């Protein structure tokens, strides 16, 4: 077969419609959006239209959408500013968060002496809400909770409405790294009551190098990057107009076609899990990733019953066969420490077996999945 791409949690193929918008913007709307002449005004109009569009899908105000270079910058902007500007003294997160959150929190602990607490996971890897509520009790310091809606490695999906209720009842701010969620799941920022979100366009068939932060009105945050007054003063620097309008198109396509694509991809995932269980005895699934309800429909994290020697060659073998998947998040490839998410939830014996993340999109087919399953089966039997 041709090459098979099953690493959509790392990044996605850009939609053809998005490519057309990107090209048109680069060709026709090249004015600096801060310029007052017609070229600049045209570019500014496109940016503000995109801001309004994205805000509409989140039930947010356009002024609450701040364009960034991606999810990592948005996470850093929110967490660092919350400590610096809002007097947050305690951050509560989990050890299964993305490193964009974990490493930022560790740095803030070193710089500002804040207290960092970690919610214990349930056996399936989902942060435990009772423990979260317990951690929010007590010392009276201003607290911020940072929990991702969809885990990027094992797919676990938390009940964000319940987490938001717990935070509200305990006067804590709530931030969510929603990078694996925006474009795949509906969001209503007013209903949920989340204070801050981070998103990245390349996770839902948009361009790389652009994302956004949702920052609730009158939050009190100040900029981290100084210079001009772009992005409501939160982020100085000339906006990447073509990327922003490309992200707008990706958001529109994602949500206008959400039900159809979700049903199709969910069918792929269910089929993949069934075929793995049928053809590879002893296969297991990490976290909630095989679940229809407790996990996102876009990925599955598979633990295979292969020996240590085979495990060392598995990803290389799949690559030779034209199959792209991941041992963990792409942001940590090359790390000798392995997946921090799996390290947090699996036993030493379970960690000895190779785990792979397969993540799907509407561009994948059942025929591709058959090829992958048969390749894994043949490798295990060889």
Q: DSSP letter string over 91-145?
A: EEE-TTS-HHHHHHHHHHHHHH--EEEEPPBPTTSPBPHHHHHHHTSSS---EEE
Q: Is the same domain home to 262 and 252?
A: no
Which of 238, 256, 274 delimits the end of a domain? 256
Band of the pLDDT at 220, cuts 50, 70, 90?
A: confident
Q: Is the same domain home to 155 and 27?
A: yes
Distance CA 141, CA 90 (A): 7
CA distances to 22, 45, 54, 308 from 27, rounded to whole Å, are: 9, 16, 23, 53
Q: Is the same domain home to 42 and 151?
A: yes
Distance CA 249, CA 240 (A): 15
Q: Is the same domain home to 68 and 8?
A: no
Structure confidence at residue 275 (pLDDT): 98
Q: What is the pTM of this model?
A: 0.93
* pLDDT > 80? residue 334: no
Q: Is the same domain home to 116 and 238?
A: yes
Which of 256, 283, 299 delimits the end of a domain? 256
Total structural domains in the chain?
2
Distance CA 69, CA 302 (A): 31
Structure confidence at residue 268 (pLDDT): 98
Q: Is the same domain home to 219 and 290?
A: no
| Cβ atoms of 60 and 309 closer than 8 Å | no
- Write the CATH number for 104: 3.40.640.10
- Write the CATH number for 376: 3.90.1150.10
Q: DSSP letter string over 141-152?
A: --EEEE--SB-T
- Annotated catalytic residue 331: yes
| Cβ atoms of 66 and 232 closer than 8 Å | yes
Which of 221, 237, 256 delimits the end of a domain? 256
Question: Could you tell me the residue range of the domain that residue 93 belongs to?
Answer: 16-256
DSSP 52: H
10 Å CB burial of residue 293 (0-12, 13-18, 19+) is: exposed
Q: Which of 291, 355, 287 is nearest to 124 (CA)?
A: 287
Q: Is the same domain home to 245 and 284?
A: no
Q: Is the same domain home to 182 and 311?
A: no
Q: Is the same domain home to 244 and 347?
A: no
Q: Is the same domain home to 245 and 289?
A: no
Catalytic residue among 307, 331, 333, 335: 331
Band of the pLDDT at 318, cuts 50, 70, 90?
A: very high
* pLDDT > 80? residue 332: no
Q: Is the same domain home to 283 and 315?
A: yes
Torsion angle in degrees (nearest 10) through CA of 328, 16, 182, 245: 120
Structure confidence at residue 1 (pLDDT): 64
Band of the pLDDT at 357, cuts 50, 70, 90?
A: very high
Band of the pLDDT at 336, cuts 50, 70, 90?
A: very low
Q: Is the same domain home to 277 and 208?
A: no
């Amino acid at each position: 077969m041709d090459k098979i791409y099953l690493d959509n949690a790392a990044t996605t193929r850009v939609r053809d419609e998005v490519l057309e918008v990107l090209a048109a913007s680069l060709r026709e709307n090249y004015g600096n959006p801060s310029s007052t002449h017609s070229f600049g005004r045209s570019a500014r109009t496109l940016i503000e239209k995109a801001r309004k569009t994205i805000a509409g899908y989140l039930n947010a105000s356009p002024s609450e959408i701040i364009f960034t270079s991606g999810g990592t910058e948005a996470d850093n902007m929110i967490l660092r500013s919350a400590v610096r500007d809002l007097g947050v003294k305690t951050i509560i997160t989990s050890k299964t968060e993305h490193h964009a959150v974990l490493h930022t929190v560790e740095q803030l602990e070193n710089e500002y002496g804040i207290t960092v607490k970690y919610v214990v996971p349930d056996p399936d890897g989902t942060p435990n809400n009772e423990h979260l509520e317990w951690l929010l009790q007590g010392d009276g310091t201003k607290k911020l909770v940072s929990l991702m809606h969809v885990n990027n490695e094992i797919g676990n999906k938390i009940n964000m409405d319940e987490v938001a209720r717990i935070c509200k009842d305990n006067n804590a701010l709530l931030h969510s790294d929603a990078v694996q969620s925006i474009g795949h799941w509906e969001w209503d920022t007013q209903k949920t009551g989340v204070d801050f979100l981070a998103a990245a366009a390349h996770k839902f068939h948009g361009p790389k190098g652009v994302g956004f932060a949702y920052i609730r009105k009158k939050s009190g945050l100040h900029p981290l990057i100084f210079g001009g007054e772009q992005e409501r003063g939160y982020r100085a620097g000339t906006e990447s107009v073509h990327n922003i309008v490309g992200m707008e198109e990706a958001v529109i396509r994602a949500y206008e076609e959400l039900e159809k694509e979700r049903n199709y991809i969910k069918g792929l995932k269910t089929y993949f899990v069934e075929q793995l269980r049928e053809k590879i005895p002893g296969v297991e699934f990490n976290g909630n990733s095989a679940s229809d309800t407790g996990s996102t429909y876009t990925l599955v994290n598979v633990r295979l019953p292969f020996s240590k020697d085979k495990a060392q060659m598995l990803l290389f073998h799949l690559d030779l066969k034209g199959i792209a998947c991941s041992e963990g998040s792409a942001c940590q490839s090359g790390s000798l420490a392995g997946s921090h998410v799996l390290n947090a939830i699996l036993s030493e014996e379970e960690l000895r077996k190779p785990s792979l993340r397969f993540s799907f999109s509407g561009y994948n087919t059942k025929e591709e999945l058959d090829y992958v399953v048969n390749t894994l089966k043949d490798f295990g039997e060889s």
